[in-house]
Amino acid sequence: MIKRSFRKIIRIYYPTLTHYLFHYFFTLLIIPPGLLLTLIQIPELTNLLLGFWARMLFWSMGRRVKVRNRSYIKPGHTYLALINHSSLFDIPAIMTILPGGAWIGRGKLLKIPIFGRYLSKLNYIPIEPSNWRKSLEALETASMKSSKGQIILMFPEGTRSSDGNLQEFRRGFIRILRKTEIDILPITINGLYNWKPKYQRHIDTSEKLEIVINEPLPASELISLDDKEIIQKVKQRISRDHKIIDN
């Protein structure tokens, strides 16, 4: 009984308290030096800081993120990285290996005090699904960043999965693909849904974390396909090593 209670403390109570008491405080500490590095334009140090921040979130809970097939990412090559989305920790997990990527996400995040200002200084590309003009501006920004050799990162599901399994992919990434004509890098994250599902407050770190870098899909092979075929190919590549959640 005592051993079982101790395991529960280690598995749930410790990481949950660490998240709510340490992670937010640690993030606030990282923002000022991060802003300074972005203002004086030292991207290498900024990326080192962001990578350290991301890894520390997992280290503080006694976990590391295992990465498979890292060799698929060619140094200096531009990709549109598409990732399944099931947890609050998906972005930090990806930032442990791609801290300098340009994230595409909801514009409302820029309204968060302090954190939003920091995002605006980084490579964040805000998009508003209900505002076509701003969406076009985001496409232009993504195109410019891809021409500079940056990896663009996006969740094709649009929001976190409610059951841990892959949801329908939205077509926004296809517009970026057709405009930039850069290769797609499908990435699969396993384990994080079990850590913190969308509507769960506590964190359970019993599941091992894994990022699978899948074989890239060349833009030259996708451009001629229709939208449904592109979505099918990308979804198949991401789902190949995705662990099905049994609800």
pLDDT tens digits in sequence order for the chain, 247 residues long: 555 555 666 667 888 889 888 998 998 898 888 888 888 888 889 899 999 999 999 999 999 999 999 999 998 889 999 999 999 899 999 999 999 888 887 777 677 666 666 677 777 887 766 665 666 676 677 767 666 678 999 999 988 999 999 999 998 899 889 988 899 999 999 999 999 888 888 898 888 999 999 999 999 999 999 999 999 999 999 999 998 776 5
Model's pTM, two decimal places? 0.89
3-state SS, one letter per residue, for the chain: CHHHHHHHHHHHHHHHHHHHHHHHHHHHHHHHHHHHHHHCCCHHHHHHHHHHHHHHHHHCCCCCEEEECHHHCCCCCCEEEEECCCCCCHHHHHHCCCCCCEEEEEHHHHHCCCHHHHHHHCCCEEECCCCHHHHHHHHHHHHHHHHCCCCEEECCCCCCCCCCCCCCCCCHHHHHHHHHCCEEEEEEEECHHHHCCCCCCCCCCCCCEEEEECCCECHHHHCCCCHHHHHHHHHHHHHCCCCCCCC
Q: Domain 63-239: which topology?
A: Glycerol-3-phosphate (1)-acyltransferase (3.40.1130)
Ranges of each domain in the chain: 63-239
